[in-house]
Amino acid sequence: MIMPNIGIEWTAQSNIRNEAVSLSQAYLEVAAMRAIGMRERVLKTGRGGSGRRFRPYSKSAKKARSRLGLQTGYKDFKRTGTFWGSMKAKLQSPMKASVVFTGRAAEGKKKTKKGKVVRITNAALARIVLSKEMESIYSLTNSEVEEASEYLADRLTTEILTAQAIEQTAFMLGRRTRSAQRRAKKAIQALRGR
């Protein structure tokens, strides 16, 4: 599948058939384009989709950012660039694409269960941001939602939507089957005393 050059990588869940990925290209494209727009809005204005600004940086964070030569006027969640650079569009199912953060953060460490110290993931950083801010970094403005809707309306035909619905049904059945198989395997192991 050929994605237009829009400055963001994309990925698909491994158990989605290639045919379904091809049918879902419009979802990946719109998720990628909206992600780019959202990133640019946050980096340039420090505002979420509702237009509200994120909480300001703390005094200590402002001081540290000033020393590094970074802007301190509003929160843009950018220090090294790895967080925003790790953003990808991901096909979660044949009819659902979302924006995810991948890889490890440039800074910040945490201990694993085995006591090993590793860098925190960008996905974990995104969850931290979502829990601490009143505004979601993922939220879209009304005009961004309208643009995405128009884009999808232009790209998706009745035939594509029907084929996607069939692929979605097969995907969900496969998910339930794998889950049932895992439960059955666990029950058999428990019966055998393992």
Please name which of 83, 84, 128, 88 lies closest in space to residue 106, comparing C-alpha atoms: 83
pTM for this structure? 0.77
90 assigned to some structural domain? yes
Contact present, 87 and 101 (Cβ < 8 Å) = yes
Contact present, 123 and 102 (Cβ < 8 Å) = yes
Please name which of 50, 73, 72 lies closest in space to residue 138, comparing C-alpha atoms: 50
Q: Over its length of 194 residues, how does the chain's per-residue pLDDT go in tens digits?
A: 444 555 678 888 878 888 888 888 899 899 998 899 899 999 999 998 888 899 999 999 999 999 999 999 999 999 888 999 999 999 999 999 999 998 888 877 776 767 788 888 888 888 888 888 888 888 888 888 899 999 999 989 999 999 999 999 999 999 999 999 999 999 999 998 87
186 assigned to some structural domain? no
- Give the total number of structural domains in the chain: 1
Structural domain including 21 reads 9-156
Contact present, 163 and 89 (Cβ < 8 Å) = no
Using CA atoms, how far apart are residues 130 and 100, in angstroms rounded to an integer?
13
72 assigned to some structural domain? yes
**DSSP structural state of residue 162:** H
175 assigned to some structural domain? no
* Strands (DSSP E) found in the chain: 9-12, 87-93, 96-101, 104-111, 117-121
62 assigned to some structural domain? yes
pLDDT at 17: 86
Per the structure block, which two tokens stand in for 105? 């953060």
pLDDT at 172: 92
Contact present, 62 and 72 (Cβ < 8 Å) = yes
